């Protein structure tokens, strides 16, 4: 006999698509992730082009990119979105509320809109000033908290951040930050993990990956429950390109080989990893053509070519100055050109653009956030600095 809860769940799942769509556009970002696990149909509806703009309006959320640029040796983070006026309000997503006037974004959580950044003036440190200051903040609610520093003796190779919903409801949650650094005279990555539950960094096991192989200035891509970075060929891998995957929850790692077609004839093509509809994708750009591969079987490392599209039309409109930064959706890519970024549908052409104040783009972080205060970092008016309370 079917239980009452199971019967109610079946009734909800069997609702007409238009009713399910309306219902899903009103759930919070926290609940949206769970809704995508209910059924294939629900998952498909949440990735339709019309869903995201409507969901942002109804669920009080923002979605777009944090574009980090460099001008005159200073970092600038600009929020851009295809769903907001161009340019969006200056205070919609900004880092101008942080205590340091010059910060560099290190990582962005794919959940809850949390940002990990550091004081970019660390090189000018004095005996009275810490060598560096790490912060976690939620730009959409203008909250921040200072964190203790990791082992700054070693150069950072990559950083990732993951926020998880808490069990207390409201804005309660916890987060982890993973930092890989390059130890001296060792052919591995040094791994440190910061856990908000203990508010401290701890040493995790070293990763037997050539430390110089990670593609610089490439943010982590979250898919299949792990963080991913594209790697350059190195002597430990025998000259083969692959993807470094790190599971933040279990603190385990693996290397994922690229499809052979993308590493033989297109060995020197421009490549990017991205996440579309929760799946890991590889984007290969050769001249004015782009290929999109999807990792259909994650455990089996089974790649399938999803599409091949021409960029000739984009080249005619933008010249040769455009650079593909991310896959925004299954058929839409996010590009930057000179002093602007644009969203380009491979079938319909350009669908949106936004201006930038600076042209030297260093990193592009996918950003999604609700407007709910984050209790884990709500320490106002007292901030926690390196383990000590400070007014």
* Nearest-angstrom CA–CA distance, 114 and 137: 6
pLDDT of residue 95: 93
pLDDT class for 383, splitting at 50, 70, 90?
Answer: very low
Q: What is the mean pLDDT of residues 252-278?
A: 85
pTM of the model: 0.86
Residue 32 has pLDDT above 90, yes or no: no
Sign of CA dihedral 272, 275, 277, 281: positive
pLDDT class for 4, splitting at 50, 70, 90?
Answer: very low
Q: Is residue 276, in this structure, part of any structural domain at all?
A: yes
Q: Say if residue 131 is in the same domain as residue 165.
A: yes
Q: Say if residue 182 is in the same domain as residue 318.
A: yes
Q: Is residue 11, in this structure, part of any structural domain at all?
A: no
Q: Say if residue 198 is in the same domain as residue 252.
A: yes
User: Contact 272/265 with Cβ under 8 angstroms?
Assistant: no
Using CA atoms, how far residue 189 sits from 37, 86, 107, 250, in Å, is 34, 41, 18, 17
Q: What is the mean pLDDT of residues 188-194?
A: 95
pLDDT of residue 9: 52
Q: Which of 266, 268, 217, 209 is nearest to 243 (CA)?
A: 209
Q: Is residue 274, in this structure, part of any structural domain at all?
A: yes
- Percentage with pLDDT > 90 across the chain: 42
Q: Say if residue 30 is in the same domain as residue 99.
A: no
Q: Say if residue 223 is in the same domain as residue 282.
A: yes
Q: 40 lies in which domain range?
A: 16-59
Q: What is the CATH number of the domain that holds 256?
A: 2.120.10.30
pLDDT of residue 385: 36
Q: Which of 113, 109, 105 is nearest to 81 (CA)?
A: 113
Residue 239 has pLDDT above 60, yes or no: no
Q: Which of 256, 254, 301, 264 is nearest to 284 (CA)?
A: 264
Give 315's contacts (C-beta < 8 A, 6+ positions apart): 288, 322
Q: Say if residue 279 is in the same domain as residue 146.
A: yes
pLDDT tens column, 44-103: 888 887 888 888 888 888 899 999 999 988 999 999 998 866 555 656 789 999 988 899
pLDDT of residue 80: 93
Annotate the chain with three-state secondary structure. CCCHHHHHHHHHHCCCHHHHHHHHCCCCHHHHHHHCCCCHHHHHHHCCCCHHHHHHHHCCEEEEEEEEEEECCEEEEEEECCCCCCCCCCCCCCCCCCCCCCEEEEEECCCCCCEEEEECCHHHCCCCCCCCCEEEEECCCCEEEEECCCCCCCEEEEEEEEEEECCCCCCCEEEEEEEEEECCCCCCEEEEEEECCCCEEEECCCECCCCCCECCCCCCEEECCEEEEEECCCCCCCCCCEEEEEECCCCEEEEEECCHHHHCCCCCCEEEEEEECCEEEEEEEECCEEEEEEEEECCCCEEEEEEEEECHHHHHHHCCCCEEEEECCCCEEEEEECCEEEEEECCCEEEEEEECCCCCEEEEEEEEEECCCCHHHCCCCCEEECCEEEC
Q: Say if residue 53 is in the same domain as residue 179.
A: no
Q: Is residue 375, in this structure, part of any structural domain at all?
A: no
Residue 325 has pLDDT above 90, yes or no: yes
Q: Say if residue 35 is in the same domain as residue 162.
A: no
Q: Say if residue 326 is in the same domain as residue 312.
A: yes
What total number of domains does the chain contain?
Answer: 2
Q: Is residue 48, in this structure, part of any structural domain at all?
A: yes
* Nearest-angstrom CA–CA distance, 235 and 271: 20
Q: Is residue 298, in this structure, part of any structural domain at all?
A: yes
What is the pLDDT of the chain when averaged over all its residues?
A: 83
pLDDT of residue 77: 93
Q: Say if residue 208 is in the same domain as residue 233.
A: yes
- Percentage with pLDDT > 70 across the chain: 82
Q: Is residue 382, in this structure, part of any structural domain at all?
A: no
Cis before 87? omega within 30: yes
> What tokens does 388 get?
């000590």
Q: What is the mean pLDDT of residues 33-54?
A: 84
- Separation of CA 113 from chain center: 10
Q: Is residue 378, in this structure, part of any structural domain at all?
A: no
138 or 121, which is more confident: 138
Number of Cβ within 10 Å of residue 168's Cβ equals 9
Residue 156 has pLDDT above 60, yes or no: yes
Identify the top-confidence range among 50-59, 115-124, 325-334. 325-334
Q: What is the mean pLDDT of residues 365-375?
A: 88
């Amino acid at each position: 006999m079917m239980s009452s809860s199971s019967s109610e769940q079946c009734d909800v799942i069997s609702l007409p698509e238009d009713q399910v769509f309306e219902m899903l556009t009103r759930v919070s970002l926290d609940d949206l992730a769970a809704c995508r696990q209910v059924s294939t149909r629900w998952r498909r509806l949440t990735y339709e082009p019309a869903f995201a703009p409507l969901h942002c309006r109804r669920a009080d959320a923002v979605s777009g990119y944090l574009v980090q640029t460099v001008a005159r040796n200073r970092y600038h983070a600009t929020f851009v979105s295809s769903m907001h006026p161009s340019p969006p309000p200056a205070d919609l997503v900004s880092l101008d509320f942080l205590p340091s006037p010059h910060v560099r974004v290190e990582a962005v959580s794919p959940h809850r809109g949390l940002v990990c950044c550091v004081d970019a003036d660390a090189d000018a440190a004095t005996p009275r000033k810490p060598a560096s200051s790490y912060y976690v903040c939620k730009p959409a609610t203008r909250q921040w908290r200072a964190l203790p520093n990791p082992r700054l003796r070693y150069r950072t190779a990559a950083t990732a951040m993951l926020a998880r919903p808490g069990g207390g409801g409201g804005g309660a949650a916890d987060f982890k930050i993973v930092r890989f650094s390059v130890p001296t005279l060792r052919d591995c990555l040094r791994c440190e993990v910061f856990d908000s539950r203990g508010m401290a960094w701890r040493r995790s096991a070293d990763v037997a990956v050539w430390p110089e192989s990670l593609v610089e200035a490439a943010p982590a891509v979250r898919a299949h429950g792990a963080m991913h970075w594209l790697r350059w060929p190195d002597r430990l891998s025998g000259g083969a390109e692959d993807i470094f995957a790190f599971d933040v929850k279990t603190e385990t790692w693996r290397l994922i080989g690229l499809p052979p077609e993308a590493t033989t004839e297109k060995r020197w093509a421009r490549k990017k990893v991205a996440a579309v509809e929760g799946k890991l994708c590889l984007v290969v750009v050769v001249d004015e053509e782009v290929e999109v591969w999807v990792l259909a079987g994650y455990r089996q490392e089974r790649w399938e070519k999803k599409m091949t599209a021409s960029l000739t039309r984009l080249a005619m409109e933008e010249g040769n100055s455009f650079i593909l930064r991310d896959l925004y959706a299954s058929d839409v890519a996010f590009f930057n050109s000179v002093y602007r970024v644009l969203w380009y549908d491979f079938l319909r052409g350009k669908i949106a653009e936004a201006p930038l104040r600076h042209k030297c783009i260093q990193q592009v972080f996918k950003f999604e956030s609700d407007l709910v205060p984050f209790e884990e970092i709500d320490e106002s008016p007292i901030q926690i600095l390196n383990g000590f309370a400070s007014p």
